[in-house]
Amino acid sequence: KQEVTQIPAALSVPEGENLVLNCSFTDSAIYNLQWFRQDPGKGLTSLLLIQSSQREQTSGRLNASLDKSSGRSTLYIAASQPGDSATYLCAGCTSGTYKYIFGTGTRLKVLA
Amino acid sequence: GAGVSQSPRYKVAKRGQDVALRCDPISGHVSLFWYQQALGQGPEFLTYFQNEAQLDKSGLPSDRFFAERPEGSVSTLKIQRTQQEDSAVYLCASSLRDRREAFFGQGTRLTVV
């Protein structure tokens, strides 16, 4: 059974810091991987999708990479801002399946 | 529509009551998922539709849970005889087809009292 671990579980940093959030899968045969953001009481907002043929994706200050050999992904946030405060979730879809399996998230707080 | 729409946003049900949660996916999206999210946890898979066909219902916690998507568009998740442990946020997601980018709705927060 696929299990997803996100480290750290919570993070509090001053504004302007560069951050790295980690995600690892027990089954490294990841086909697609998505990073999401969730604000309190809200649904999930898709941030980045790394598809089967890709190793990383970038959007603005966000960069996500996937090492398929180890089943690990990192989300890099550059020059963090208070508006980045949210829970960040990674979800992977393994080869041969269609459903995304989620980690428990990293709760990020960026202090002004 | 512009995104995945879920209704109601909040539902309070008395224990034993039946509830129905609605999901309007993005127009043209073939794949539709339901997830359950407990407080402080990541979403847990419930069920998956490809068009009107329910291909996977392995995540439904009991036979009190039932989902349908009769015309391959709108989906309804029904919970019969609700119990306190059913209290959670129920999230719906759709994607253009299998293993593509998934887009989530705002969720329905169900509280069973």
Spell out the residues 6+ positions from residue B81 whose beta carbon is closer than 8 angstroms to its own.
B16, B17, B18, B64
How many helices (DSSP H) and strands (DSSP E) are in chain A? 0, 11
CB-CB neighbors (< 8 A) of B34 in chain A? none
pLDDT one-digit tens code per residue, A95-106: 778 889 999 999
With a cut of 50, list the residues of chain A below it in pLDDT.
none
With a cut of 70, list the residues of chain B below it in pLDDT.
1
pLDDT at B1: 52
Show which of residues 10-29 on chain A sit within 8 Å of chain B, judged by CB atoms: none
Which 3 state secondary structure label does DSSP give A98? coil
Interface residue of A44, A47, A49, A51 to substitute, partner B, most B CBs within 10 Å: A44
Q: Kindly report the nearest CA distance between residue B87 and chain A, in angstroms.
A: 14
pLDDT at B86: 97
Contact at CB, A46 and B101, closer than 8 angstroms: yes
B104 vs A4, A44, A101: nearest CB: A44
Cβ–Cβ under 8 Å, residues B102 and B4 = no
Contact at CB, A32 and B41, closer than 8 angstroms: no
pLDDT at A98: 83
Residues A87-97: b if buried by 16+ CB within 10 A, e if exposed: bbbbbbbbeeb
d(CA A103, CA A34): 11
Cβ–Cβ under 8 Å, residues A105 and A95 = no
pLDDT one-digit tens code per residue, B12-22: 999 999 999 99
Q: Kindly report the nearest CA distance between residue B44 and chain A, in angstroms.
A: 7
Contact at CB, B45 and A100, closer than 8 angstroms: yes
